[in-house]
């Protein structure tokens, strides 16, 4: 367990900038109505500026199956053809985003759903075709994100709920990994707010041993990360998440935590999850 | 043809409030990519505060067919069961809304997609079950709409693109007729802005003879409306649209026009369509 006063914002008297929580939830929470509701209750109660970034969940795949849209993956990334970008726009930008927004509104949290096209919030470049054509996939970087639109929303006490969709400024929605959206958005806003980035998923953090769910590390730095990778101790899917988390730390995001969505209160209080360091 | 100076805002020196255009497009424009693009080009070029309200188009029905969701209608209104509210949330709030937003962004119009749940923009009451159970259908009235959220968006040069979805503040999205949304929103904002409400559809206005597409009336008042109804001169579907338009006039919306979406420039300039009066 980490010391509560080790760099968490409530112990930091040096900043005049306000605290902003950026919290990312993944598919496992979204697919479970009870988990989602409990999570959103905690999220709604956070008494700071906040942004929720959500992934997609399994519903895009199951709906795609019903519609005869076959999902193709390369290296864990969905290949986004014409039918798939429409599918994820409907599911991520429509169904999932609005389910979260309506639930938060019922919890007296003034949520506003945002895709990357809305208010030009997340401009992106379609990924160039090299050996693989990923289709309608967007690459984003912090330099292209204008903090002012986010400030307008946040300063007016609105709570952005962000679908993992970006756009190319040429009329096309693009599919972008939700962990990446959270990382880049946190980096883009780190000059304006004291950003606390929390990645929530189904495990207690980065595990020292992939087979032991109780082996979450309190901290993970680059050295330990390298060792875990060399010893093949890391479970599938965690590596890109850690890379996104490390990128955020490198870009002046004050605190980056990876932890269990069932324990959001503890993650916020610095009493759980794995804190990512360089 | 109406006189250009007959009550149109650019001839009105008495108001200090700013002009706000609220423009509603229906399914026929949305279903035709070329018409939609032309329409949005004109909309993007309007040099005033503006809101676009869109209907759904046929895609919800065709997608519902593929998913085995059967659409039921009573009196032209879709009965909105659990599967249908998810369907229209996906299609209206996701696919259609984001297609319009991405297109407007490409036209350098800073659009932001809004459903009634986002920012609590359109709170509604689920329609009470009397002889008919309409399901997840929302009734709205102007008293429940807080103009301040709309002002925040408009004053920050954002252009709301409104899907015909409202919410019950208890976690449920509700289906609401897009003509009604446009009328009630116009009424709610009439105290803050000089509102110009334009209903765009596939005809040149309210026709004096339903069989003659060139017989659009320059004006329609209550007396003429009653006569046309008595003489069964009105074509199907126009009556609720006129009723919504009349409601807007009664609620201090300065100008209400019904006209052809292919001629938006003329409608804005007061050179086409039917102006609704009491």
C-alpha B36: how far from its chain's center?
15
Decide if pLDDT at B1 tops 80. no
For residue A155, pLDDT beyond 90? yes
Considering only residues A67 and A167, tell me which one the structure prediction assigns the higher pLDDT. A167
* Mean pLDDT value across chain B: 92
* Burial class of A249 by CB neighbour count within 10 A (0 to 12, 13 to 18, 19+): buried
pLDDT band for position B224 (cuts 50, 70, 90): very high
- Top-confidence residue, B130 or B146: B146
Query: Residue B89 gets which letter from DSSP?
Result: I
CB of B36 closer than 8 Å to CB of B106: no
SS3 of B53, please?
Answer: strand
Which of B40, B82, B119 to mutate: most A Cβ within 10 Å? B119
- Average pLDDT rounded to a whole number, residues A121-136: 94
Ordered DSSP codes for A196-264: EEEEEESSSSSBSSTT-TT-B-SEE-HHHHHHHHHTT-SPTTHHHHHHHHHHHHHTT-SEEEEEEGGGH
- Give the model confidence (pLDDT) of A203-237 as tens digits: 999 999 888 999 999 999 999 999 999 998 887 78
Q: How crowded is residue A109: how many other Cβ atoms within 10 Å of its Cβ?
A: 21
Query: Are B182 and B22 within 8 A, CB to CB?
Result: yes
Contact present, A220 and A242 (Cβ < 8 Å) = yes
Which of A102, A165, A173 is facing B173, going by the closest CB pair?
Answer: A102
Residue A10 confidence (pLDDT) above 70: no
pLDDT level of residue B14 (50, 70, 90 thresholds): low
User: Nearest to residue A95, comparing CAs of B210, B102, B248, B163?
Assistant: B163
d(CA B51, CA B160): 5
pLDDT in tens, B33-74: 999 999 999 999 999 999 999 998 888 888 998 889 887 887
A156–B158: do the CB atoms touch at under 8 Å?
no
Q: Which residue has the tokens 């199951």?
A: A62
Q: Which among B90, B111, B170 has CB closest to A91?
A: B90
At residue B70, the pLDDT reads: 83
Q: A188 and A248 in contact (C-beta within 8 Å)?
A: no
Whole-angstrom Cα distance, residue B247 to residue B229? 17
- CATH number for A9-276: choose from 3.40.1160.10, 3.20.10.10, 3.30.390.10, 3.40.50.2000: 3.40.1160.10
Contact check, Cβ <8 Å, A98/B158: no
pLDDT surpasses 50 at A68: yes
Q: Give me the interface pTM, i.e. the ipTM.
A: 0.93
Distance CA A96, CA A61 (A): 13
Mean pLDDT along residues A117-145: 96
> In chain B, which residues have their Cβ closer than 8 Å to the Cβ of A117?
98, 101-102, 105, 111, 113
- Alpha carbons B229 and A74: distance in angstroms, whole number: 61
CA dist A32 and A232 (Å) reads 30
- Closest residue on chain B to A111 (Cα): B119
Any idea which residue has 């509102």 for tokens? B195
Residues in chain A with CB shorter than 8 Å from the CB of B91 are 90, 94
Q: Evaluate whether A125 touches A168 at the Cβ level (below 8 Å).
A: yes
To 10 degrees, what angle do helices A178-189 and A238-250 make?
Answer: 10
Residues of B in contact with A102 (CB under 8 A): 117, 167, 171-173
For chain A, the structural domain boundaries read 9-276
**Contact list, B176 vs chain A (CB under 8 Å):** none
Whole-angstrom distance, CA of residue B1 vs CA of residue B205: 12
Q: Are A66 and B63 in contact (CB < 8 Å)?
A: no
**Subunit contact B117:A101, Cβ cutoff 8 A:** yes
For residue A94, what pLDDT band results from cuts at 50, 70 and 90?
very high
- What is the per-residue pLDDT for B2? 53
Helix (H) or strand (E) holding B222: helix B222-230
A52/A29 Cα distance (integer angstroms):
13
pLDDT for position B233: 86
> Would you say how long chain A is, in residues?
278
Of the listed ranges B13-17, B94-98, B136-140, B178-182, the least confidently predicted one is: B13-17
Q: Say how far apart CA B267 and CA B261 lie, in whole Å.
A: 9
Give one word for B270, left, alpha or beta, with left for phi > 0 and alpha for psi -120 to 50: left
CB pairs under 8 A between A and B: 119
Partners of A18 in the beta sheet? none
The Cα–Cα gap between B167 and A29 comes to: 23
Confirm if A100 and A54 have CB atoms less than 8 A apart: yes
pLDDT at A2: 53
Q: How far off is chain A from B109, nearest CA to CA, in Å?
A: 9
């Amino acid at each position: 367990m980490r010391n509560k006063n080790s760099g968490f914002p409530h112990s930091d008297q040096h900043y005049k900038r306000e605290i902003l929580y950026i919290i990312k939830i993944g598919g496992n929470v979204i697919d479970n109505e009870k988990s989602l509701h409990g999570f959103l209750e905690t999220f709604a109660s956070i008494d700071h500026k906040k942004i929720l970034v959500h992934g997609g969940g399994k519903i895009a795949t199951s709906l795609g199956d019903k519609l005869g849209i076959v999902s193709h993956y390369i290296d864990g990334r969905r290949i986004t053809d014409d039918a798939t970008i429409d599918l994820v726009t409907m599911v991520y930008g429509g169904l999932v985003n609005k389910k979260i927004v309506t639930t938060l509104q019922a919890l007296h949290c003034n949520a506003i759903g945002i895709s990357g096209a809305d208010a030009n919030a997340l401009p992106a470049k379609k990924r160039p075709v090299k050996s693989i054509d990923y289709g309608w996939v967007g690459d984003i970087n912090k330099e292209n994100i204008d903090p002012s639109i986010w400030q307008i929303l946040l300063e007016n006490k609105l709570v952005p709920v962000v679908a993992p969709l970006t756009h190319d400024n040429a009329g096309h929605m693009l599919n972008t990994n939700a962990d990446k959206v959270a990382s880049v958005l946190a980096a883009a806003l780190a000059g304006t707010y004291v950003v606390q980035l929390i990645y929530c998923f189904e495990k207690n953090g980065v595990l020292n041993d992939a087979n032991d769910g109780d082996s979450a590390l309190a901290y993970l730095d680059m050295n330990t990360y390298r060792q875990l990778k060399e010893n093949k101790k890391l479970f599938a899917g965690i590596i890109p998440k850690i890379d996104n988390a490390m990128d955020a730390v490198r870009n002046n995001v004050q605190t980056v935590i990876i932890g269990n969505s069932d324990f959001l209160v503890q993650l916020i209080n610095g009493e759980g999850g794995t804190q990512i360091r360089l």
